[in-house]
Structure 1
Amino acid sequence: MYILLALVGACVLGIAVHFLIGGRELRGVALAPAIATAVAAVVYTGAQWAGVGEDSVWLWLASTLGAALVAALATAALTAARRRGDERTKAALGI
């Protein structure tokens, strides 16, 4: 059940990532929280399988803050790719 705390924490941090990174009009509102939540689930489960206990601070830091960091990097990369794609499309259309 503790995994739910990590997932909710990562989702909340993902929402913060969405609002902190520019270009919100180029991506969906659920992109960053979804990435953060998925990464947190994988990291938490992997750490548990590796033998890290639920009382370890490293489990919580890796699954929440690590997920937020990955979500920030992925969101920034996807937003930049979308900008480049939009610029190429506008150039091709002559706009």
Structure 2
Amino acid sequence: MQILLALIFGAVVGLAAHFVLPHREVRGVALAPVTGAAAAGVSWTLLTWVGIGFDSPVPWIVSIVAPAVATLVLLPIVSRVRIHADADLRARSGI
């Protein structure tokens, strides 16, 4: 049940990253929250498999840090690729 809280933390961190980082108009609104929730869920699951329980602060801290790192790495890359792809398409289309 605690993994649900980790998923919510990850989605909230991802949503915050969506609004903090530039070029949000070129990426979907769901990309950042889904990325954050996935990073939190995967990290929580891995820590649980390793044997670290929810009574330790480690999974809670990692469920906030992992989504932040994942979204702060992924979103600029996706935005940059999209901007370049759109510019290339405009150039090929003669717009």
Same fold flag (TM > 0.5): yes
- Asked whether the 8 Å contact 1:32–1:72 carries over to 2, the reply is no
Q: Cα offset for 1:74?
A: 0.7
- 1:51 is matched with which residue? 51
Q: Cα offset for 1:33?
A: 0.2
Give unpaired runs (5+ residues) of structure 1: none
- Asked whether the 8 Å contact 1:47–1:59 carries over to 2, the reply is yes
AA aligned to 1:67 is: P
Which whole-Å CA distance do the structure 2 matches of 1:32 and 1:69 have between them?
A: 11
Task: Establish whether residue 39 from structure 1 lines up as the match of residue 48 from structure 2.
Answer: no
- 1:66 is matched with which residue? 66
Which whole-Å CA distance do the structure 1 matches of 2:93 and 2:22 have between them?
A: 25
AA aligned to 2:88 is: R
- 1:78 is matched with which residue? 78
TM-score (norm 2): 0.93
- 2:89 is matched with which residue? 89
Which whole-Å CA distance do the structure 2 matches of 1:15 and 1:83 have between them?
A: 21
AA aligned to 1:74 is: L
Which whole-Å CA distance do the structure 2 matches of 1:56 and 1:89 have between them?
A: 50
TM-score (norm 1): 0.93
AA aligned to 1:90 is: R
Which whole-Å CA distance do the structure 2 matches of 1:80 and 1:11 have between them?
A: 22
Q: Cα offset for 1:34?
A: 0.3
AA aligned to 2:9 is: G
